[in-house]
């Protein structure tokens, strides 16, 4: 389910360097199983966090929806994420997740165009986000 094969060769694009985020949810059968799933993946998560270019690598149980795992990753570049997809920690993570019954999957890639602090230096919310008044 997590690694769908495709016989067609992927389109090769000029490689840009941009921070890449992965965010989304995985839903598992069996009710409140996420803590067990996270504990079982602790070594793969820890190894992923040590990989070159990994800024954040986090899994969490949704506090309101039993069986829902929240995923968040931040990588310094497309190349760093690509290397992660070939790393043993990623392969171990995929095998671990697929050992459980996945009943829903909504995980997306995001390219980051800019980064700003959420709050001003004095702790107030911003009056503008990336130059757009709010």
pLDDT tens digit sequence for 44-88: 999 999 999 999 999 999 999 999 999 999 999 999 999 999 999
Contacts of 87 (CB under 8 A, 6+ apart): 47, 48, 51
pLDDT of residue 124 exceeding 60, the answer is yes
Q: Which fold has domain 20-133?
A: Alpha-Beta Plaits (3.30.70)
User: Residue 101 has what pLDDT?
Assistant: 96
pLDDT of residue 12 exceeding 80, the answer is no
Task: Give the mean pLDDT of 90-104.
Answer: 95
What single DSSP character describes residue 125? B
How many Cα atoms occupy the beta-carbon half-sphere of 27 within 13 Å?
Answer: 7
């Amino acid at each position: 389910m997590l690694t769908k094969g495709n016989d067609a060769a992927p389109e090769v694009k000029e490689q840009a360097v941009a921070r890449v985020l992965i965010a989304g949810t995985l839903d598992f059968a069996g009710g409140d199983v996420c803590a067990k799933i996270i504990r079982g993946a602790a070594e793969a998560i820890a190894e992923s966090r040590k990989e070159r270019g990994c800024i954040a690598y986090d899994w969490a149980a949704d506090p309101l929806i039993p069986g829902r795992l929240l995923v968040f990753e931040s990588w310094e570049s497309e190349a760093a994420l690509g290397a992660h997809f070939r790393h043993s920690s990623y392969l171990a993570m995929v095998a671990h997740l697929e050992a459980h019954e996945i009943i829903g999957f909504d995980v997306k890639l995001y390219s980051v165009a800019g980064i700003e602090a959420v709050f001003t230096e004095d702790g107030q919310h911003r009056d503008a986000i990336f130059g757009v008044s709010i």
